[in-house]
Amino acid sequence: MSVVVSNRDRLLEAAIEAIERDGEAALRVDQVAEAVGVTKPSIYHFFHDRDGLIVAAQAERYRRSITYLLADLDLDIVLECESQAEYARLIHAVVMSSTSPDGVLRRRLRAQVLGSAVSRPALQESVGEVHRQTVATLAKVLGYGQKRGWFRPEFSSSAVAAWWFGAIFGRHLVEDYSNADDANAWPAITWSTIAHLMGVSADL
Query: Does any domain span residue 32?
Result: yes
Query: Is 98 a domain residue?
Result: yes
pLDDT tens figures, 25-58? 999 999 999 999 999 999 999 999 999 999 999 9
Q: Are residues 23 and 121 in the same domain?
A: no
| Same domain? 9 vs 88 | no
- Do 8 and 78 reside in the same domain of the chain? no
Same domain (yes/no): 94, 126:
yes
Between these two residues, 177 and 79, which has the higher pLDDT value?
A: 79
Q: What is the pLDDT of residues 126-166, one digit of tens each?
A: 999 999 999 999 999 999 999 999 998 899 999 999 999 99
Residue 142 and residue 99 in one domain: yes
* In a shared domain, residues 122 and 34: no
Q: What pLDDT, on the 0 to 100 scale, is given for residue 76?
A: 86
pLDDT score for 5: 54
Residue 204: inside a domain: no
Give the confidence band of 1 by pLDDT, cuts at 50, 70, 90: very low
Range of the domain at 29: 1-48
Residue 134 lies in a domain: yes
pLDDT at 190 over 50: yes
Instruction: Extract long-range pairs of 89-94: CB within 8 Å, 24+ residues apart.
Output: 89/204, 91/141, 91/145, 91/194, 91/198, 92/191, 92/195, 92/204, 94/70
**Residue-wise pLDDT tens digits, 59-99:** 999 999 988 877 778 888 888 999 999 999 999 999 998 88
Q: What is the pLDDT of residue 189?
A: 93
Q: Is residue 53 part of a domain?
A: no
pLDDT confidence of residue 117: 94
Domain membership of residue 203 (yes or no) is: no
